[in-house]
Structure 1
Amino acid sequence: MPTFRPRRRQRGGPWPALLAWLTLLLLIAAALMMGGAGPAHRLELLPLGSAFDLLRLGAYLALAAAALGLVTLIVASLCRRWRPALAGGLVLVAVAAMMAVPWQLMQRAQEVPPIHDITTDLEDPPPFVALAETREAAPNAVGYPEGFADQQRAAYPEIQPLLLDLPPARVLSAVEAAALDQGWEIVALSETGLEATATTFWFGFRDDVAIRLTQTEEGVRVDVRSASRQGRSDLGTNAARIRTYLEALQRRAEG
């Protein structure tokens, strides 16, 4: 007669596998919340405050997933259940990757001043004319805020005007082409410059840009101003935008 051997009971019973599944579910929920907060606001499904709350909740869930992943890794390893242990380890790695960007933003917030309006001309910033009405409806001011100049000088001394020894028409053409290359929406264009709106990728924040061209004895001076419509600090976004744009414009002009 055939003999039947009883099925060998796995160490730890169902708990290592249950812990692994719960950890994975927390990770998925955290990823959906953190990844979806920005698009939800950009698509106008959530107001900004609710989107930030969703992002914050996702971060808390990610930390909970990491803690449970560590417990899963330890318990499963002690029980020699290698698949649940692997799942716990992978969750730890995934959470570390997910939290890298928020951590970098927090570090950046401590390194840059809490300003949101950057310009190459601190004495006479390019004004917003075509975008004035739009900015008046936004939380941040239309004019260049008082007290920002000293903070900008200390934080971004490299933000300076660009001088191009080229005919004004060629400079204007390069200015427009470089703005389009950045993906900006041009609102107004004239012989003395342009105004445009830049939209950030994740949350869809709309920042405004004003570019002014001035004829001098040395050539055409290009001044750029980039300002956020909302938020006290831009985490260095506007300075980076001006820096990137002027580099692109320089290449355009040389080409």
Structure 2
Amino acid sequence: MRILIRTSKWAIWARRLASFAVPLAVIPVVLHRQQVITTEAFHTMALVALIVAGLSLFLSLGALVRLWITGDRGWDRAFGGLLLSLLCLAPFVYGFIEASRYPRVTDVSTTPDLKLALLAPAPSVDPTVDQAAIEAAFPNAHTRTYPLDAPRLYEVVNKLVNDWGWHVRLRQAPPTARGTGQIDAVVTTWLGWRDAVAIRVSTGAEGGVVDMRSASLTPSLSDLGANGKRIEEFLLALDSAVTTVLRNSVLAPAPQGAEGDTPPPVQGGRSDVVVPADRPADLRPPPPEPFDTEAPPQE
């Protein structure tokens, strides 16, 4: 007599829901990055993916327990559903951890008077946010002062922004050595959220001053620390870039034509300047014999 071994329905549905949760978690990210769907629609689809992945995880764990007890088939489906559900839930777990590490803020700046030209009006800062907590979470997000004038410092900042691949919306170079310049850009995160960034270059008592602000364009409870970390990483990279510029300016060779360098150019096809290296060793006559100071012999 042949014994029929059944396949666990829990394992079957766990694998099916996990396979459905994967496109629910991936496709909204692609569409959101390409600006095909709005951020509100992205949040709704991400919530649906979270629910489906959570249900698949529950069914996978239940299937593993039932398979151990009953001896039915479906271990591959149960483990497959468990792996796919954990893969879909990993970004949500990461976001929860980041949200617990950083203050619940969506606007971080080195100075409160820096405005965003991209936003009208600028997003209001939550009065309940503890500024001391923001400074403790992002200790390197503070105003920088460098021994460079504003135009030269603006060139360094502008090059760094281009290297980082931000979508610049406004470039305003300092008109004078003591003027003020600003760069406004939009930054897209890997999940498709968009943040506005403003960088101001001005002149202070000790040299060029750089202030920076980063704010989320979509209202939310938390930015997961993205804006504060962006300011810290950019300003640290700017420190290195300015250090390189100052070192290169110190080690740069002296301009030609200085004293001790190449001779002046020849005018009219000839030169009246004698190069010391081409001068004969000695053109003076030999010195005379020394006079005999001894008295002549007496006769």
Q: TM-score range by the shorter chain?
A: 0.7 to 0.9
Q: Give the aligned partner of residue 31 of structure 1.
A: 22
Provide the C-alpha distance between the structure 1 equivalents of 2:94 and 2:45, rounded to a whole number of angstroms.
Answer: 19
Provide the C-alpha distance between the structure 2 equivalents of 1:94 and 1:156, rounded to a whole number of angstroms.
Answer: 39
Unaligned ranges ≥5, structure 1: 1-5
Unaligned ranges ≥5, structure 2: 175-180, 245-299
Equivalent of 1:164 in 130, 137, 146: 146
Deviations along 1:117-151, one digit per CA (max 9) or x if unpaired, are 211113x2x2233x2xxx23xxxx41653637x62
- Give the AA of the match of 1:119: S
- Does residue 1:69 correspond to 2:60, yes or no? yes
Provide the C-alpha distance between the structure 1 equivalents of 2:69 and 2:124, rounded to a whole number of angstroms.
Answer: 62
Provide the C-alpha distance between the structure 2 equivalents of 1:146 and 1:77, rounded to a whole number of angstroms.
Answer: 53
Q: Give the aligned partner of residue 206 of structure 1.
A: 194
Q: Give the aligned partner of residue 147 of structure 1.
A: 127
Q: Which structure dedicates a bigger proportion of its chain to helix?
A: 1
Note closer, same or farther for the CA distance 1:44–1:210 as it changes in structure 2 (3 Å cut): closer
The CA deviation at 1:113 is: 3.2
Alignment of 1:1-255 (within 5 A): 8-11=2-5, 13=6, 15-16=7-8, 18-80=9-71, 84-122=74-112, 124=113, 126-129=114-117, 131=118, 135-136=119-120, 141-142=121-122, 145=125, 147=127, 151-157=130-136, 158=139, 159-189=141-171, 190-191=173-174, 192-202=181-191, 204-232=192-220, 233-255=222-244
**What root-mean-square deviation, in Å, do the aligned CA atoms of Structure 1 and Structure 2 show?**
2.5
Percent identical residues: 23
The CA deviation at 1:187 is: 1.7
Q: Give the aligned partner of residue 3 of structure 1.
A: none
Of structures 1 and 2, the one scoring higher in RCO (CA 8 A, sep 6+) is 1
The CA deviation at 1:161 is: 0.9
Which protein shows a greater Rg?
2
TM-score by length of 1: 0.79
Asked if 2 retains the 8 angstrom alpha-carbon contact of 1:213 and 1:220, the reply is yes
Asked if 1 retains the 8 angstrom alpha-carbon contact of 2:19 and 2:81, the reply is no
- SS for the counterpart of 2:198 is strand
- Give the AA of the match of 1:154: A
Deviations along 1:203-246, one digit per CA (max 9) or x if unpaired, are x2221111111222322111001112221432221111111111
Provide the C-alpha distance between the structure 2 equivalents of 1:177 and 1:9, rounded to a whole number of angstroms.
Answer: 73
Provide the C-alpha distance between the structure 2 equivalents of 1:172 and 1:39, rounded to a whole number of angstroms.
Answer: 34
Provide the C-alpha distance between the structure 2 equivalents of 1:154 and 1:23, rounded to a whole number of angstroms.
Answer: 43
Asked if 2 retains the 8 angstrom alpha-carbon contact of 1:197 and 1:209, the reply is yes
The CA deviation at 1:44 is: 4.0
Asked if 1 retains the 8 angstrom alpha-carbon contact of 2:19 and 2:84, the reply is no
Note closer, same or farther for the CA distance 1:47–1:108 as it changes in structure 2 (3 Å cut): same
Provide the C-alpha distance between the structure 1 equivalents of 2:4 and 2:134, rounded to a whole number of angstroms.
Answer: 60
